[in-house]
A and B are shown apart, each in its own frame.
Chain A
């Protein structure tokens, strides 16, 4: 169903710049109409025709699945918004700074009525370049938001030195190497970096390489890009000298890498096919048991006796999987899975997955 309304979820710790980004999205001349769902107690005004106040009521589904929490208010609001169907093109949900993104995302997988009318496009997290490192230490919410994200905007880069910026980006990648990272000043990212990502669309899970492997490419352009920003660059110069910028550009080989103590990602590869009769029970059992600590999961698998690629993704205990396109003749049939989570039992997961080899 292509006429499902795409929903972008904006998260980010208090003061990171979510509302600035939201107002930026709304004020650009894109010709689209958005329905915006914001927290009722938001401090900054939103300039939009269709703004709905939400109360972020999270409740547990009564289905024996303890991490199956959903946003009850969101179900109600989406049902009500459909009375204005045709009057908006997409929905943006802004969560409070302390919100866990999981219940929002799970709402789109658990509720059939919501699934019938809307689809989750991406979870976008705005991070404050100056304060994120500190928040990752003292605010579990901030860490969840980074771990959960499909897109991370490292904002307020004009307020930190290149070293600090590299530090915070390395910390982000230590938690979530799979999200797309964008640097921004006053949330100035191109809209197509945030909207229309189809991050939850199984057809779009083409690769699950860590995003920083592609980042080199961005770095080469980065120098130019800074200058394109023109007026904003003026602020930069007050805080750090330009020389370092050049230096940074040539320094990408020495990428810092951090491992977060509690939140990490685990990527596993079987150099060949997996047996679906082993893999399906294993992965279902794994997310049933470990779901509370697994925030996101993804996989592209070569199933024995199957010409098509099997792709799946999950949020905590909820898994969604399907056969996608054919494996191309020039493509190696390998099976890769990725988990992002808290205190993952790496050895147990690795051992379990490896036993699924066909």
Chain B
């Protein structure tokens, strides 16, 4: 299988509970755990911060400075590198299970049908989606939010009012927008992706997955979308004006187990791929060359979190069973 290995460069960490997401806050790898805690895995000093006193973390994202976590306690909490927590929203016990961040400090979250967008100044606007929301993603230009729900997606300008509706029958889960802002892609209940070219609403169906896609990652040049849900990382081409219409994807990291997480390196055309049996591989997109990071035989402990640091020198990973770790790339 893999010729080369970086296993000796991996530091393992016992997270103790399911890892929901990982991120680097400054130099420190931090893991958001299902039990509501953040685990700071600093060198020589591990620290746990209970961001949610009585809640499970359902979704977690970081902007590199703070970890934003939302849970079944209805709270959206931001916790910084020092472990100081601040409650940003309280949905009165309603589960917050979708969250997205924007470079300028704006963010959006949803609880059931209610969607809230909070701009960089802290002004919150509300929108009631036609049905429960699973996925949110800001467009790169303008203050505009893509909202995935049943039977399509809504594009909403929180400061302008009525959203535009992009219809497609079925249940839409996660949402992502291409870095050039031309395409919206959602994952669907029916094990496929749906895409819209936003300019003219033209549809794209990306199918063939044996399972749901629950992890997306755009390449650093914005031309490729890596996806989970198959026995390989399926990477769709978006470099032309038609996106992947009429074109097939690339497949890399083919293994007999399903891909559960994907994360493009921040600057190079290299993918970190996590599998449902706990394996992590690095794959170079150009030639498909694979490097082994971690994995055992006969495991069912799926990789649930993958995150690069800003420089792309370190990769944090975590699993459903509470294993975590950091790969330090050789200099």
Contacts and interface: CB of A to CB of B under 8 A. Distances in A.
Interface in B124-165: 131-132, 134, 150-151
B171 A80 contact: no
B97 interface: yes
Query: Looking at chain A's contact residues, is the secondary structure mostly helix, strand, loop, or mixed?
Result: mixed
Contacts of B34: 83-85
Contact of A57 (B18, B95, B131, B170): B131
B189 A83 contact: no
Which of B112, B134, B190 gathers most chain A CB within 10 Å?
Answer: B112
Contacts of B18: 83, 85
A70 B113 CA distance: 18
B212 A55 contact: no
A45 B111 CA distance: 22
B134 A62 contact: no
Interface in A62-86: 62-63, 70, 72-73, 75-77, 80, 83-85
Contacts of A57: 131-132, 150
A111 interface: yes
B225 to A, nearest CB: 21
Contacts of A73: 132
A59 interface: yes
A53 interface: yes
A72 B134 CA distance: 10
Nearest to B34: A83
Contact of B97 (A62, A63, A72, A80): A80
B56 A80 contact: yes
B174 interface: no
B35 to A, nearest CB: 8
Interface string B161-190: 000000001110000000000000000111
B58 interface: yes
Contacts of B57: 83
Given A72-B132, A83-B34, A111-B189, A59 B56 contact: no
A191 B134 CA distance: 36
Classify chain B's interface size: 20 to 34
Contacts of B211: 112-113
Interface residues of A, number: 22
A61 B72 contact: no
B94 interface: yes
A52 interface: yes
A62 B58 contact: no
B212 A113 contact: yes
Contacts of B97: 76, 80
A62 B132 contact: no
Interface string A103-120: 000000001110000000
B58 A83 contact: yes
B305 interface: no
27 contacts: A52-B72, A52-B95, A55-B113, A57-B132, A59-B131, A59-B150, A59-B170, A59-B171, A60-B170, A62-B169, A62-B170, A62-B171, A62-B189, A70-B189, A72-B150, A72-B171, A72-B189, A73-B132, A77-B95, A80-B56, A80-B97, A83-B20, A83-B57, A84-B34, A84-B56, A84-B72, A85-B34
Given A59-B151, A77-B95, A84-B56, 9 more contacts: A55-B132, A57-B150, A59-B131, A59-B150, A62-B188, A63-B190, A72-B132, A80-B56, A80-B95
Interface of B: 18, 20, 34, 56-58, 72, 94-95, 97, 112-113, 131-132, 134, 150-151, 169-171, 188-190, 211-212
